[in-house]
């Protein structure tokens, strides 16, 4: 893969997104790290490894802001070669459906689904003009496995999966690949409940629900994402790849 490629990673300030951004930089690519939070830690890690990054702050729920973001990338770097949509939130959880609010719905679907849609829409315009491109959207095992207290997140990630499959078929004639990686329980802050008195240890419970009996690491997810994103996986499109320690197999 040529060293001149521009890689955009959303949700790159921490967790899986940060691990993906750092992994991409190892191969000598320019990485645009996008988040609504401070990206200094990710930028520092990439710099220490000898990589190149550009930090961009953006609310991915805002269509105007996303349009401006990709216009700036186009002007500065000639467009996007690889887009990895990792920005996500579980919102406030665990909550039963009757405890959720319309505002909570907008937050969870806004970040997970609308943000993915807006970034794909903008990136594809650039990719089509060159007849190539790769997109990896981050789903979740919870797109397939029900989790009480996380109904909105389950639904939003299921939407990401089917959106990605449809987009893959739509854009294949234009040389654009679209795939989805669905992590299982991973040792990041997203696994931490934010409301209520949780009667069990969520991390320990999640470990028991996997075949490997442990949490994954952000780096393990990043390795799979990066393989699928680059040209080594050039015959993959429309794929949905669980990286879940065997959680869906049990």
Q: What is the pLDDT of residues 210-250, one digit of tens each?
A: 999 999 999 999 999 999 999 999 999 999 999 999 999 99
Question: Does pLDDT of 13 surpass 50?
Answer: yes
Contact assessment for residue 138 and residue 90, using Cβ atoms and an 8 Å cutoff: no
How high is the pLDDT of residue 198?
58
Give the whole-number percent of the chain exceeding pLDDT 90. Answer: 90
Global confidence as pTM: 0.95
How high is the pLDDT of residue 196?
67
Indicate the Cα dihedral angle 115, 121, 123, 126, nearest 10°.
-160
**Domain range annotation of the chain:** 6-244
Per-residue pLDDT tens over the stretch 22-47:
999 999 999 999 999 999 999 999 99
Question: Does pLDDT of 1 surpass 80?
Answer: no
Contact assessment for residue 24 and residue 42, using Cβ atoms and an 8 Å cutoff: no
Contact assessment for residue 136 and residue 225, using Cβ atoms and an 8 Å cutoff: yes
Question: Does pLDDT of 188 surpass 50?
Answer: yes
**Cis peptide leading into 94, omega within 30 of 0?**
yes
Ranked by mean pLDDT, the top range of 83-87, 191-195, 196-200, 206-210 is 83-87
Please give the structure tokens belonging to residue 164: 């990605």
**Higher pLDDT residue, 103 or 2?**
103
Residue among 17, 165, 174 at smallest CA distance from 83 = 17
**Which residues are designated catalytic?**
153
How high is the pLDDT of residue 4?
76
How high is the pLDDT of residue 58?
98
Confidence class for position 193, pLDDT limits 50, 70, 90:
confident
Per-residue pLDDT tens over the stretch 157-184:
999 999 999 999 999 999 999 999 999 9
How far is 181 from 222, CA to CA, in rounded Å? Answer: 10
Query: What CATH architecture applies to the domain 6-244?
Result: 3-Layer(aba) Sandwich (3.40)
> Tokens 């639904």 map to which residue?
155
Per-residue pLDDT tens over the stretch 59-116:
999 999 999 999 999 999 999 999 999 999 999 999 999 999 999 999 999 999 999 9
Please give the structure tokens belonging to residue 71: 């216009």
Residue among 123, 112, 105, 110 at smallest CA distance from 8 = 123
Confidence class for position 48, pLDDT limits 50, 70, 90:
very high
Mean pLDDT check: name the lowest of 1-15, 18-32, 157-171, 186-200: 186-200
- H or E element at residue 9: strand 6-10
3-state SS, residue 200? coil
Measuring CA to CA, how many Å separate 107 from each of 36, 60, 61, 91, 143?
Answer: 13, 11, 9, 7, 17
Give the whole-number percent of the chain exceeding pLDDT 70. Answer: 97
What's the burial of 128, exposed, middle or buried (CB within 10 Å: 0-12/13-18/19+)?
middle
How high is the pLDDT of residue 101?
97
How far is 84 from 146, CA to CA, in rounded Å? Answer: 25
What crossing angle do the helices spanning 151-171 and 115-130 adopt, rounded to 10°?
10
């Amino acid at each position: 893969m040529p060293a001149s490629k521009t890689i955009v990673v959303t949700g790159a300030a921490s967790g899986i997104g940060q691990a993906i951004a750092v992994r991409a930089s190892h191969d000598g690519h320019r990485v645009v790290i996008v988040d609504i939070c401070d990206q200094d830690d990710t930028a520092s890690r990439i710099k220490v490894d000898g990589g190149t990054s550009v930090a961009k702050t953006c609310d991915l729920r805002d269509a105007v802001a996303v349009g401006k973001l990709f216009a700036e990338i186009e002007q500065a770097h000639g467009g996007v070669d690889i887009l990895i949509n990792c920005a996500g939130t579980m919102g406030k959880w665990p909550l039963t459906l009757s405890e959720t609010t319309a505002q909570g719905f907008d937050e969870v679907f806004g970040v997970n689904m609308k943000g993915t849609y807006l970034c794909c829409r903008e990136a594809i315009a650039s990719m089509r003009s060159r007849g190539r491109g790769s997109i990896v959207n981050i789903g979740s095992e919870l797109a397939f496995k029900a989790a009480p207290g996380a109904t909105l997140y389950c639904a939003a990630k299921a939407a990401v999966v089917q959106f990605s499959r449809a987009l893959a078929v739509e854009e294949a004639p234009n040389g654009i690949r679209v795939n989805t990686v669905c992590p299982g329980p991973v040792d990041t802050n997203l696994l931490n409940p934010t409301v209520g008195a949780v009667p069990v240890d969520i991390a320990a419970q999640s470990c028991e629900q996997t075949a490997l009996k442990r949490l994954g690491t952000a780096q393990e997810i990043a390795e799979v994402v990066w393989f699928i994103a680059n040209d080594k996986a050039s015959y993959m499109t429309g794929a949905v790849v669980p990286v879940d320690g065997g959680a869906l197999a049990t």
